Amino acid sequence: MDGTDAHLIVPSSTSHDVWTDGNQSVRLMQPISNLDFEVEVKFDSAVTQQYQEQGIIVEQDNKNFLRFGVFSDGTTARLFAASFDNGAPTTRDNTPISGGAPIWMRVKRSGSKWTESWSIDGTNFSPGTPFTFSLNVSKVGPFATNAGNTQLHTPAPSFTALVDYFFNRASPISPTDAGEAPPPISPVIDIWYGDVQNFGQKGVPQQWVNILGTVSDPVGLSSLTYSVNGGSQQVLALGPKYPRSVDTGDFNAEIDRALMVAGTNTVTFTATDKQNRQTQRTVIVNYSTGQNWPLPYSIDWATAPDIQSVAQVIDGKWKIQPDGTVRTMQTGWDRLITLGDINTWSNYEVTAEVTVNAFDCQKYGVGIVVGWRGHTTTDNGVSKPDQPRTGHPFPGLGWFSTLEHNVAPNGQFNIYANTYATPEMALAKDASGRKMTPGVKYMFKFRTVQNTLGGSHYSLKVWVASSPEPANWDLQADGMKTQGSIVLGAHRADVSFGKINVIPLP
């Protein structure tokens, strides 16, 4: 193969496949005779995030094969080789090298002796550590893969490998473009919720306007900045550096509404890659002022034109589904949608249809926040450099969750709070041992009303949607006063929210 680059696109995942533990692989395999050979591949892409990898697979079958590659350990590119004997892996080489793009690799077989080598110019190759391994070869080809860190519970970074050419050196493609620079490919900026977005048209649910997306480039990114209405450039952190941006290249421009003018605003993003190529993309933000979010209020996702017309996405990639729900398209730290008014909502009751499609194997949570006002720079008095901000104060949260690390599957229903008086604290816990079953639709009803103590009284009940509503509340607790909006939240869980209904209370 030669000519136009083949794009091997590996999505973010923590699933398993036959090649390595906890990763996904995409490969272009070709049949080959079980003889001595030497193959060569040129990649126009660089490994820049931890456990992204590209290289060559030599296969007998799906349990007996060799993997030669270049991967990133998060800091350094490394030359890697491993043999798989009946599925059992043995590392053969793991050596730091000079990374970047383009990069060439060769794999040579001489009987049972194997040698890989690499080059940054296509002419001068440096050998890796040779080894011996018996293999009845049937296929060979380039591959790209990723992996997560199971100990730190971090997802595998997405990765796009660009394969310029791959051939058997006994029958080389001639001419090749060895030594030439890869074709110019500028960074790609993907804005998840469109180039025209509306905020404030129903009211103000929080302090911030969030514009979310992903930026990618095969040779790696140098920076991503944005400006509001032609103002100064603001640097954006890219995922997965901080918790709220889950995948490689994810960004969240968290813009103070005070910087917006009533009417049309422009937010211009500028991405620069490591070869100083740039891409710009402009988002039009129509900002409405002076609106108070109506109460009572309801959402039927089946009739909503889009998510942002009836609510505001704070974090994550969400999509309205054919079944009339809105679902997380990406699991991770606090995937959030808000609705309601930061100033006028205080006493209300929210009812929501909730289905958990899958939980994280370690820690998770799904439920409804009340009294939301927006993320903060400080988290319970501790200043954090995270961007976007990770301080998340709220007076009440009714949810099903694991309260501490590494206690799954021991989730429980509880009423939770995160305030200066009750930092990250359960106000009431369900001791019955009742669980949420994945795939089953539940009804969540969460109520907040001011109490005589100057705070608010919280009440939570949850039941299977196909059953009658129970007469009594499951949990009740007193906490700080509620004033603010509602958040639909999914923490490390794949969740679908159905119809939402909010009513005012005296």
Q: Cα separation of 412 and 132, whole Å?
A: 53
Q: Cα separation of 412 and 484, whole Å?
A: 26
Q: Indicate whether this model's pTM tops 0.85.
A: no
**Sole residue written with tokens 């998510």:** 307
In the numeric block, which tokens belong to residue 88? 């059992």
Report whether pLDDT(22) > 80: no
CB atoms within 10 A of CB 167: 18
Q: What residue ranges in 340-377 does DSSP mark as E strands?
A: 348-359, 365-372
Please, is 420 exposed, middle or buried when counting C-beta atoms within 10 Å of its C-beta (0-12, 13-18, 19+)?
A: exposed
Characterize the bridge pairing of strands 394-401 and 412-418: antiparallel
Tell me what percent of the residues of the chain surpass a pLDDT of 70.
90
Report whether pLDDT(457) > 70: yes
User: 298 and 272 in contact (C-beta within 8 Å)?
Assistant: no
The domains found in the chain, sorted by start residue, are 6-168 (2.60.120.200), 185-291 (2.60.40.10), 293-506 (2.60.120.560)
pLDDT in tens, 378-409: 988 889 889 999 999 999 999 999 875 445 56
| Adjacent-strand bridge partners of 140 | 30, 58
Report whether pLDDT(24) > 70: no
CB atoms within 10 A of CB 4: 10
The residue with greater pLDDT, 283 or 19, is 283
pLDDT in tens, 353-373: 999 999 887 789 999 999 999
Residue 13, H or E segment: none
Conformation bin of residue 219: beta by default, left when phi > 0, alpha when psi is -120 to 50 = alpha
Cα dihedral 387, 390, 391, 394 sign: positive
Residue 307 main-chain phi, psi, to 5 deg: -65, -45
Residue 456, H or E segment: strand 456-464
Report whether pLDDT(504) > 50: yes
pLDDT in tens, 162-215: 888 999 998 887 666 554 555 567 899 999 999 999 999 999 999 999 999 999
The residue with greater pLDDT, 165 or 461, is 461
**Interacting residues of 35 by C-beta distance below 8 A, sequence separation 6+:** none
Overall average pLDDT of the 333-355 stretch: 97
The pLDDT score that the predictor gives to residue 4 is 42
The pLDDT score that the predictor gives to residue 342 is 95
Residue 353 main-chain phi, psi, to 5 deg: -85, 130
Overall average pLDDT of the 468-492 stretch: 97
The pLDDT score that the predictor gives to residue 232 is 95
Residue count (the chain) = 506
Q: Cα separation of 216 and 289, whole Å?
A: 34
Report whether pLDDT(429) > 90: yes
Residue 257 main-chain phi, psi, to 5 deg: -60, -25
Max Cα separation, the chain?
86
Q: Cα separation of 189 and 212, whole Å?
A: 10
In the numeric block, which tokens belong to residue 379? 């988290």
Q: Cα separation of 176 and 122, whole Å?
A: 10
